[in-house]
């Protein structure tokens, strides 16, 4: 009888062991998560303090030849029907972010537009509205007349807002658009792939014409990393260049301390 009791107790203990181990694992995971969040918060506070100490004085403008000298000053028409020059009205001495898209795209264009919409809102905190301009250029001038571009803007809830950087949706002569995308780096060496306009989507070309600093990145990057890279490249002062670093939260696949300013 006593042996039977011992057997029952042993079975009960054996059955409860997995439950105990699961609870122990959950508690350990929660403890680790709390510790990681504390590390991220400490890092964020440290970065915010360091950013606040950086200079707000503007860097000296580039006086020599600029990369934008390669950009043809093509005439475009924007979503309101206004005629604009690419370099004179959108790029000269400004920070600018350019992408190519078309309103009938069912692939990456909708996601790209949503990402830029968020960047426009987030970067407004670091850049004055007259410093930064967004330009979305349609590949499809036959279909994307100004009224189509305006409908597209409205569909995505994009409006002209005095508190946000300007965002032009524009198109133009097809041959001139082809001339423009090459100096922007939006082309493929393979002719067949280059003829496919979907190959050039989901890429942001951005830079600071005043300082002659340019780069390009895929839209699919982590939002925080993309914002930080744009600030680092386009910032007109030391504080602007590092301002986005202090806003980092915990990112998938990163280790505590890996987001600290260098």
Domains of the chain and any CATH numbers? 67-236 (3.40.30.10)
Distance CA 48, CA 171 (A): 40
**Residue 253: per-residue pLDDT:** 44
- Read off the pLDDT band of 2 (50, 70, 90): low
pLDDT of residue 28: 73
Q: Is the pLDDT of residue 30 over 90?
A: no
Burial of 224 (0-12, 13-18, 19+ CB in 10 A): middle
Question: CA 167, 170, 176, 182: dihedral to nearest 10 degrees?
Answer: 40
pLDDT at 151: 97
* Residue 113, token pair as written in the block: 């537009």
Q: How far apart are CA 56 and CA 44, in angstroms?
A: 20
Which pLDDT score is estimated for 6?
Answer: 56
Residue 177, pLDDT > 70, answer yes
pLDDT for residue 8: 54
Please give the model's pTM, rounded to 2 decimal places: 0.77
Alpha carbon of residue 230 to chain centroid: 7
Q: How many CB atoms lie within 10 A of CB 141?
A: 18
Mean pLDDT within 128-137? 92
What is the pLDDT at residue 249?
A: 46
59-87: average pLDDT: 94
Could you give the CA distance from residue 4 to residue 232 in angstroms, rounded to a whole number? 73
pLDDT band at 52 (very low <50, low <70, confident <90, very high): confident
Rounded to the nearest angstrom, the gap between the alpha carbon of residue 60 and the centroid of all alpha carbons in its chain is 26
Tens of pLDDT, residue by residue over 229-247, are: 999 999 999 999 998 876 5
Q: Do residues 180 and 141 touch, judged by C-beta distance below 8 A?
A: no
Q: How many other C-beta atoms can be found within 10 angstroms of the C-beta atom of residue 77?
A: 19
208 within 8 A of 241, measured Cβ to Cβ? no
Has residue 26 got a pLDDT over 80?
Answer: no
- Residue 146 and residue 75: Cα distance in Å, rounded? 14
Rg over alpha carbons for the chain, rounded to the nearest Å, is 26
């Amino acid at each position: 009888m006593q042996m039977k009791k011992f057997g029952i107790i042993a079975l009960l203990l054996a059955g409860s062991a997995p439950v105990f181990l699961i609870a122990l694992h959950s508690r350990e995971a929660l403890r680790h998560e709390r510790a990681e969040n504390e590390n991220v918060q400490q890092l964020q506070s440290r970065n915010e303090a360091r950013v606040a100490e950086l200079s707000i004085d503007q860097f000296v403008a580039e006086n020599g030849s600029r990369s934008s000298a390669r950009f043809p000053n093509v005439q475009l028409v924007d979503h309101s029907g206004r005629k604009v020059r690419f370099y004179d009205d959108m790029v000269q001495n400004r920070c600018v972010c350019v992408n190519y898209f078309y309103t009938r795209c069912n692939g990456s264009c909708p996601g790209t537009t949503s990402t830029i919409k968020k960047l426009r809102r987030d970067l407004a905190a670091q850049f004055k509205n007259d410093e930064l301009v967004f330009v979305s250029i349609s590949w499809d001038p036959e279909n994307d007349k100004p009224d189509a571009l305006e409908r597209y803007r409205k569909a995505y809830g994009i409006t002209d807002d005095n508190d946000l950087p300007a965002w032009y949706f524009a198109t133009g002569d097809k041959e001139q658009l082809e001339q423009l995308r090459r100096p922007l780096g939006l082309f493929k060496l393979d002719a067949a792939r280059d003829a496919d306009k979907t190959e050039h989507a989901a890429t942001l070309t951005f830079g600071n014409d005043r300082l002659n600093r340019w780069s390009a990145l895929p839209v699919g990057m982590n939002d925080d990393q993309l914002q930080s890279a744009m600030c680092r490249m386009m910032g007109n002062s030391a504080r602007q260049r590092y301002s986005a670093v202090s806003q980092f939260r915990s990112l998938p696949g990163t280790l505590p301390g890996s987001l600290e300013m260098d």
